[in-house]
Amino acid sequence: MLKILLIDSNYYQMFGLSLLIYEQLSDEHLDVCFLLPSAKEHTDEPNIVFRNDMVTINIFNKRRIRGSSDTPRKEKITIHVPFLSRKHTLNEISTKIRKILAIACADYNVLINKESAYWYFGLKKYSQLSDSENDLMLLIGRGYNSTDISKILNRSRKTISTHYRNASRKMGAANRAEFYRYASFIANCGRDERNTLCL
């Protein structure tokens, strides 16, 4: 069963998003449970979390692994998708939701190798963030300005500006505020949970 959590400050946007998700679910015939955002304690972690400008996808390994303290824990892959829909049509948003649902339903072992996973889901045509663009995004998310970033990465300010422009374009950010919100969220994630997938 796929568990979906919608967290959005705009009720109308959340309602419209839920209708688009229902539309995609009816086409895919998936077994889904919507979690309430007001419930602070969830017994299980959601598979998909739709936030204001981003989506978090958790893909769990079906087999349980024993940790060092002999308490069972699940292995998971966490992927964050910029869900900046301001410049997109409903058809493009529906397509993006369909791809998010497909990734969330995927087998854990398929997604371990990113390169083969991109081919499997037909995502090879989408430009992904390079390592330099990803590093830049993390530094912006931590509050550094372009002068500091150029010193840290040992690159010119013009190169930093180019990396920012390319990363912003790939993510679909309409302005600096959207880019910064996503970058600050990613910067506050754990090291293993900083995977960004641009759709």
Six token digits for residue 119: 């081919």
Domain that holds residue 156: 127-199
Number of separate domains in the chain:
2
> Strand 54-60 and strand 48-50: pairing?
antiparallel
Rounded Cα gap, residues 137 and 184, in angstroms: 8
- In a shared domain, residues 167 and 88: no
Q: Cβ–Cβ contacts within 10 Å for residue 100, how many?
A: 23
C-alpha separations of 37 from 1, 63, 69 in Å: 18, 27, 31
pLDDT of amino acid 39: 58
Contact 79, 164 (CB under 8 A): no
Rounded Cα gap, residues 129 and 173, in angstroms: 13
CATH code of 187's domain = 1.10.10.10
Question: Along the 199 residues of the chain, how does pLDDT read in single tens digits?
Answer: 888 888 877 788 888 888 888 888 876 677 788 887 765 555 568 889 998 788 999 888 876 554 545 445 568 888 899 987 777 788 888 888 888 888 888 877 767 676 667 766 666 666 788 888 999 999 999 999 989 999 999 999 999 999 999 999 988 888 888 899 999 999 888 777 778 888 8
pLDDT of amino acid 199: 81
- In a shared domain, residues 79 and 8: yes
pLDDT of amino acid 68: 47
- In a shared domain, residues 121 and 143: no
Last residue of a domain, one of 87, 110, 125: 125
Spell out the alpha helix ranges (H) of the chain.
Answer: 11-28, 90-104, 108-111, 114-120, 131-141, 146-153, 157-171, 176-187
Global confidence as pTM: 0.81
2 sits in which H/E element: strand 2-6
